[in-house]
Amino acid sequence: MARTHARPAAAHAVTVPHCHDRCWDCGGPLWVAYHNHRTVHTLAGLVRLTLPVRRCQTPACPRYRKPFRPEAEGHYALPHGEFGLDVIALVGALRYGQHRSVPEIHQELQARGVAIAERSVTEQLRRYEEVVALRLADSDRLTARLQTQGQVILALDGLQPDVGHEVLWVLRDCLSGEILLARSLLSATEATIAALLEEVRVGLPVPIRGVISDGQHPIRRAVARVLPGVPHQLCQFHYLREAAKPIYEADRHAKTQLKQHVRGVRPLERALAGRTDAEAEAGRGYCLAVRSALTDDGRAPLCASGLVLHERLEAIVASIARVATKRGCPASWRACSGS
């Protein structure tokens, strides 16, 4: 859709200089032939860029009269992009770091003063994904980093979004955190997993000193086939989850029993509806605290949700008791404490 109003004037003006004034091929001078102008939306406001374009004036040079734009132009925005790299980075952080929806990201950018359409937010998400993919595919950077550490501890896992869908297999280095290979496969046979391991092994500049995965038999056989003699440790989380099953079941039963004793929150909220006094506000706050404690399930096996619920309910009861001791105990608070 075309613009319905004129773009406001840029708040900042920047002339982007060149890093070189001599031609890379012939060594002759690069003369400024003309200037380009470009407006970029950044988090700090609109920036008007002035870009001097140079050309080599040596007729025998293979780069004769070819334009050279300033190298620092890429510091502000991608080629032909209307929004700065800081806007693209913020869009990616909100989407993948905070799991915001496109309308929520659009509202956040508008609150920061960035004039952007909701459809353009989706385009910036695509640009962010392209930049991330380009960085992951930078073999020179990855090679240099792996050579510095001298070895790789390979983590292998398959992620299936839903039953019947392709499985995304991710091979990652545990020491650097770098993703070495990611590929979707329809089946997880020994042959297909072995092919992934072989592809990573051949492409690495350093040896693989260890492998971490879950205990699926195709993975075990593939690791033994491609990486004979390399230590293969099964995932500690799976070990811990299996060992904590009896404790998890007992904790879940205890949480169920606790929930049966915490009753009467909704009647209390109904009784306080329409009231604006301090007692009603405090009562609603305690009701919300109880609801929050009940809905937080935790994550097994590292978090015993039943014990967490017990601790939070004890804290709520202790708080009500302190208030009751200082100011007396209204009937609604006695009911909340007794439930």
For the ranges 43-57, 258-272, 320-334, the lowest mean pLDDT is seen at 320-334
Mean pLDDT of 159-188: 78
pLDDT tens-place string over residues 132-149: 777 777 788 888 888 888
First to last CA, the chain: 58
Tokens of 23: 């031609």
For the ranges 92-106, 125-139, 198-212, 219-233, the lowest mean pLDDT is seen at 125-139
0.95 exceeded by pTM: no
pLDDT exceeds 70 at position 280: yes
pLDDT level of residue 164 (50, 70, 90 thresholds): low
Percent of the chain with pLDDT over 90: 15
pLDDT level of residue 328 (50, 70, 90 thresholds): low
Chain-centroid distance, C-alpha 128: 12
The helix (run of H) or strand (run of E) holding residue 179 is strand 179-185
pLDDT tens-place string over residues 54-74: 999 888 988 888 888 888 888
187 compared with 206, residue with greater pLDDT: 206
pLDDT at 3: 59
pLDDT at 198: 92
Mean pLDDT of the chain: 82
pLDDT exceeds 60 at position 75: yes
pLDDT exceeds 90 at position 317: no
The SS3 call for residue 31 is strand
pLDDT exceeds 80 at position 226: yes
Count other C-beta atoms under 10 Å from residue 172's C-beta.
Answer: 20
Mean pLDDT of 291-308: 72
